[in-house]
């Protein structure tokens, strides 16, 4: 999954794809580089980010989604917590809802069930405004897993088929470096639930803290290590900024996994 943030303020690529033409160009390059999914995000969810209105999100995302859908057969996901935005995105050609609140809004759950599209349910402690203010867990793996299984079961009860539900532990969303490392080291436990798993470690702050790389764009090699661990554990989707580089990581890690 390639990350396409059509925002001015995302932590890594804010402003890079705010222009519609540049966003379309970026999406087509990701598709050419091997991305199976383009994740269009019209609202930053970096620590401290402020909410963006549904109308502004639609203004940013819909022309891009329409163009991607016309120019390539790649799947398109919309990264939003707004049912209004998600509906507009699906109408424009998106195929997947990526919701960092794990269908907290009942209208989003209803929309996903009605359209029978895949949904990505993510764990987050707090909100983007508060999530990095001293996050605490007694057992981060057990608590995150419990939350995701609860939300996944709720999604099934609302009419979602299990094979269309992905769970995401939310690396960097209300977690310390130690929490992130513990989740990644135990990502096989999420895979063993029977739900397909998505992990988004790309360029995250914990990688910068471990490697000393302050600039997110310099965290490619650190991201590659996390991606390799995820692939080896059987994760279904890795969400990344550097598609071409991570495709190489995925191919090698997959080949080694098959030989193991």
Catalytic site includes residue 84: no
Beta-bridge mates of residue 198: 237
Would you tell me how many other CB atoms lie within 10 Å of the CB of residue 64? 26
Using alpha carbons, select from 16, 27, 62, 28 the residue that is nearest to residue 42: 62
Percent composition of the chain: helix, strand, coil (DSSP 3-state, to 5): 50, 15, 40
> For residues 9 and 30, is the Cβ–Cβ distance under 8 A?
no
Q: Kindly name the residue from 239, 251, 257, 258 that is annotated as catalytic.
A: 239
Strand order in the sheet with 196-199: 2-5, 37-41, 75-79, 96-99, 119-122, 165-168, 196-199, 237-238
Per the annotation, the verdict on 239 as an active-site residue is: yes
94 vs 223: CA distance, rounded Å: 27
> Given the DSSP bridges, would you call strands 165-168 and 119-122 parallel, antiparallel or unpaired?
parallel
Whether residue 98 contacts residue 78, with contact meaning beta carbons closer than 8 Å, is answered with: yes
- List Cβ neighbours of 172 (8 Å cut-off, separation of 6 or more): 180, 200, 201, 204, 205, 206
Annotated catalytic residue within 151, 204, 205, 219? 204
Cite the active site residues: 204, 239
């Amino acid at each position: 999954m390639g990350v396409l943030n059509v925002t001015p303020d995302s932590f890594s690529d804010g402003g890079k794809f705010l222009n519609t033409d540049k966003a379309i160009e970026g999406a087509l390059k990701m598709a050419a580089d091997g991305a199976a999914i383009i994740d269009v995000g019209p609202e930053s969810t970096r620590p401290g980010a402020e909410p963006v209105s549904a109308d502004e999100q639609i203004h940013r995302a819909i022309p891009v989604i329409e163009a991607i859908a016309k120019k390539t057969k790649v799947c398109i996901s919309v990264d939003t917590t707004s049912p209004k935005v998600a509906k507009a995105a699906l109408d424009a050609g998106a195929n997947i809802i990526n919701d960092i609140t794990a269908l907290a809004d009942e209208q989003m759950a209803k929309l996903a069930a009605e359209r029978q599209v895949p949904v990505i349910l993510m764990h987050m402690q707090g909100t983007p405004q508060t999530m990095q203010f001293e996050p605490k867990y007694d057992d981060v793996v057990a608590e995150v897993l419990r939350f995701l299984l609860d939300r996944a079961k709720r999604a099934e009860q609302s009419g979602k088929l299990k094979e269309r539900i992905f769970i995401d532990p939310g690396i960097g969303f209300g977690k310390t470096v130690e929490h992130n490392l513990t989740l990644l080291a135990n990502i096989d436990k999420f895979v063993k639930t029977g739900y397909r798993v998505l992990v988004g470690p790309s360029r995250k702050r914990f990688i910068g803290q471990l490697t000393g790389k302050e600039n997110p764009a310099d965290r490619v090699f650190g991201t590659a290590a996390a991606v390799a661990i995820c692939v080896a554990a059987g994760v279904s989707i890795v969400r990344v900024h550097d598609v071409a580089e991570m495709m190489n990581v995925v191919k090698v890690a997959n080949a080694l996994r098959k030989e193991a």
